Structures are given as C-alpha cells and as structure tokens.
Amino acid sequence: MALAAGNEVLDEEHPKALEFNSPSVGILSQRFPGPGKCQVLDLGAAASSTVAFFSDSACKFYLEDLYRFFIAPRKDGNFDADGDDELASAIADALSYEDRARFDLVLGWDLFSYMERGAIESLMARVARSCRAGTLLFLTAPTGTMMSSIPARISMTRRGRLRYRSAIDSRNIPNPRLSPTAMESMMPGFRLLHSFLLGDEIQEFLFSYS
C-alpha cells in the first residue's frame, strides 16, 4: 500500500478509547476487499489502524489533517478567509494531494461539525473534482447538544469496528447537529446511502457521489 503526503501516522493508544460495531465499516470492507486498486482521501489525523484496515486492498492513501492545517488555524485567528475565493485558496493550501488523484473513498470523520457552511462548501467543491461516480464519503457526528471543542480521534479497525477517542482536557461547545439533508445541500453530487446510530454518542453517515 502506498502512502502519499507528509503527515505522520499516529499511534492509537488512548486510555478512554471506545469501540462500536459499525455497519459502515462492514460495508467498506465488502466494497474494498482487496487485493485491488483504490485511492483513499483521509481528511482526519492519520491513524495506523485505519491504514491497516485498507492494507490488504492495495489502496493508495492520501493523508491530510484538515483540522491541523485549516480548521484550527482559522479558529485561532491565524488567518482570516471569509470570501469564496479566499476560502477556496486557503483550503487548496491546506491540502497536499495532486489534482490528478481520483478517489474511491473520502474519510471526513466528524470534521464537518467544526466547520462553517461556506468552508464545507468550498472543501467539497474541491474534493468533488477528484471524485468519480460511486465515490463514497464517510462522515460521523456527535449526537448530544454539546460536543468537545476538538474533534475526536476516530479510526477503523480490522475487526470491523469504529474506534472513538474523545479529546482530553477540551471544553464543550454547542453541537451544530447537522442533518443529512443539510449535509447534502453543502456538497452537490453527494447523496446519502446510509445513516446509523452508534450507541448514544455518535452517528455515522455514508454518502455516494454521482
């Protein structure tokens, strides 16, 4: 399996890790059983168990860390981009994959909960240029009225489960609680395939691009 991008793969150890049976992970294991060729765009912090999950499928991984390189600097006021062109430029600067990439799967995790509508629209307009018919998009979202101010570390395991690790020592902020309809309105071409509730803390979504 090939890895593309300069982001390091991080260890999985965390004393408060939770694991959920994930129907979406099961669907992905059937979609990409390997060996074969696939390209995966991971927008979250790189996790070794997710890389291992696809290791038998000869997937090329594009490892990005959108929170580190776009969401957090924007939240901290390190750069200000509000217009459509400014947002598009800032997102392009935060992503390192080449334009010729064609993704079979995009892993967005819970990052949409930490982005405003314009940023999501700019991000997905750029990502969509590298998608093909049938490209899958995997998202998660917290279900409570409040959520951590820092995204959870979420990853897939070879046992077909989703590993969820909440951030340590983070304050709580209001949860935007984005609905599938709201998500679809921000990313033209993507349509919801499945939505599953995992325990009482997290919901997962699987979209398809057409």
What are the residues whose beta carbons fall under 8 Å from the beta carbon of 13, sequence distance 6 or more? none
Question: Nearest 5°: phi and psi at 59?
Answer: -80, 145
**Is the pLDDT reported for residue 13 higher than 60?**
no
N- to C-terminal Cα separation, the chain: 27
Would you give the distance in Å from CA 177 to the centre of its chain?
16
Rounded CA separation 195/178 (Å): 13
Question: Is residue 190 within 8 Å of residue 209, measured between CB atoms?
Answer: yes
pLDDT tens digits for range 74-93: 877 655 556 778 888 899 89
What CATH number does the domain containing 8 carry?
Answer: 3.40.50.150
The length of the chain in residues reads: 210
Query: For the chain, how many structural domains are there in total?
Result: 1
**Is the pLDDT reported for residue 195 higher than 80?**
yes
Question: Is residue 104 within 8 Å of residue 163, measured between CB atoms?
Answer: no
Question: Nearest 5°: phi and psi at 11?
Answer: -70, 160
**Per-chain mean pLDDT for the chain:** 86
Q: Mean pLDDT throughout 7-30?
A: 72
Rounded CA separation 51/108 (Å): 15
Element (H, E) at 155: strand 153-156
| Whether residue 35 has a cis bond before it, omega within 30° of 0 | yes
Could you tell me the residue range of the domain that residue 155 belongs to?
Answer: 2-209
